[in-house]
Structures are given as C-alpha cells and as structure tokens.
Structure 1
Amino acid sequence: MKTRSINPTGYNYAEACEVSSFSRLLFISGQVPADADDKVPADYRDQYRLAWSNIERQLKAAGMTFDNLVKFTIFLSDRSLIAKSAGLRKEILGDREPAMTIIIAGIYDEAWLLEIEAVAAA
C-alpha cells in the first residue's frame, strides 16, 4: 500500500490522503474511551489515549497498525476539548498525517468526552 498526504497541515493530519496499491479497507466504528471492564477515566487526556488505544486494538485485530490509517473522525462533546487535545495526537500518531475531521456533537454516554472512528487500508 502506498499513501500520500496532500496539503499537510503540520498538526498531524493532512487535508487529504491518497491511497494506492491497496487490497483491503478497514472501517472502524466509533471507539469510545471505555476499557474492557467498561470503566471510563474522568480525565479527558486519559479518555483520549484510551479511545486511540481502542482504535489500535481494532487495527491489530485486522493485522494493521497506525501506519495503515488513512482517515479518522473525532467526535468531541464540547468545543473546549479542542485545546486540551494539543500534543496528544502527535504523541499517539507520531509523524503520520492521515485525513481528519473533528465534529462537536452530543455523545451517546455523558461520561464519554469523545469518540473516534477511523478508516485504514492495507
């Protein structure tokens, strides 16, 4: 698989991500900040890391890694959480720059401060 970031933003995402020479697509449903015991951390940063850990678990189950990520959408429960995300995406994704969308929305469970869905290709 070959990916190319189009118009990188410098904030760990690109305005577009082109994928070629792939044979599989993986669509990951919204992953929430709950662990295997349905425990949800109170702290936003811990929730953010846990939701990404859940994305990573789905990728691994499909034989993929964050290197296969081509698009993700983050649903936030409140606009103020955007500032709290500073640096976290870089910490998790490194220099990867998939396409991204952030949406401020009502979240299914009030304990969840975010939810993340993703698309990967291999």
Structure 2
Amino acid sequence: MTYAIQPLNPPTLPASTGSYTHGTLVTGARRAVFVSGQVPWDRDEPVPPDFADQCRLTWRNVLAVLAEADMGVRNLASVRIFLADRAYRTINGNIREEVLGDHRPAITIVIATIYAEDWLLEIEAVAVD
C-alpha cells in the first residue's frame, strides 16, 4: 500500500517559513507511530550542557524510535517541540532543518517548563507509512 503526506498551506494563511507546513493530509497509511516526548538523555552519557548538542541528541532519540518501526524523517506527519526558552528558537530551527532536509511536517513549537531542569527541550512526533 502506498501512503502520502500532503502539505496543507491554505492561500488565506501567511506563507509557512522554515521547515514546516500549516497542516498535513495523510492518505493511504497503514501504520502510525506516536513518539513520546524525547529528551536530551542518553543512557551512557550525561545531558550535554549546550542547547545545540541537546537538540541533536533529542532528534537522534526521535529518529531511533522511528527506526524501531522501520521509519525515518520522511514518515513524520507532525512534530511538537517544547523549548525551555524562546532564546533557543533560531538554533532549534537551524538544527530542525538539518534533520528534516526538505521534508515539511506539521510543526508546533511551545515555550514551556521542561520536566528536568537540565533538559532544554523535548520533542514528540507522529509518523505514518
């Protein structure tokens, strides 16, 4: 079965900028993976102090969950990113674009208090195939 993730960018909304689309329409999917909030935690190493390193580690954890289901970046339909401070917006956007390439899922970014004080972000996602 073939699936498709179609970007939804209504002409009445401002143009989306960066690596996201206003919405996604998924057709023909047979499986969905709901990725719990992943954080900058590694079982063998301490939490990196630098936001960029935490962001890359968190994305690595998201991709590891997807890989368990034989999925990857192209399967992402929706991503929600929680940042501990809006000062991380630019770095977050740059790393997100590195990870996603030209793939544009629906994305929400929330400024929030993160569960552990040394975590600077958390990422949850939905993927389909």
Shared fold by TM > 0.5? yes
Give the structure 2 partner of residue 90 of structure 1. 97
2:30 maps to 1:28: no
The percentage of aligned residue pairs carrying the same residue is 44
Give the structure 1 partner of residue 52 of structure 2. 45
SS of 2:86 mapped into structure 1: coil
Structure 2 unaligned regions, length at least 5:
10-14
SS of 1:14 mapped into structure 2: coil
| Shift >4 Å, 4+ stretches | none
Greater per-residue strand proportion: 1
More deviation in 37-46 or 67-76? 37-46
Larger-gyration structure (1/2): 2
CA displacement 1:9-53 (0-9 Å, x = unmatched): 231100001100001111000000111225211110010000000
SS of 2:102 mapped into structure 1: coil
Give the alignment partner of residue 61 of structure 1, picking from 50, 68, 77: 68
Q: Which amino acid aligns with 1:68?
A: N
CA displacement 1:52-110 (0-9 Å, x = unmatched): 00000000001111110000100011111112324211111100000000011111101
Contact 2:18–2:93 (CA under 8 A) maintained in structure 1: no
Could you state the TM-score of these two structures normalised by the residue count of structure 2?
0.90
Structure 1 unaligned regions, length at least 5:
none
Instruction: Report the Cα distance in structure 2 between the residues aligned to 1:58 and 1:24, rounded to whole angstroms.
Output: 14
Give the structure 2 partner of residue 102 of structure 1. 109
Could you state the TM-score of these two structures normalised by the residue count of structure 1?
0.95
Instruction: Report the Cα distance in structure 2 between the residues aligned to 1:29 and 1:42, rounded to whole angstroms.
Output: 22
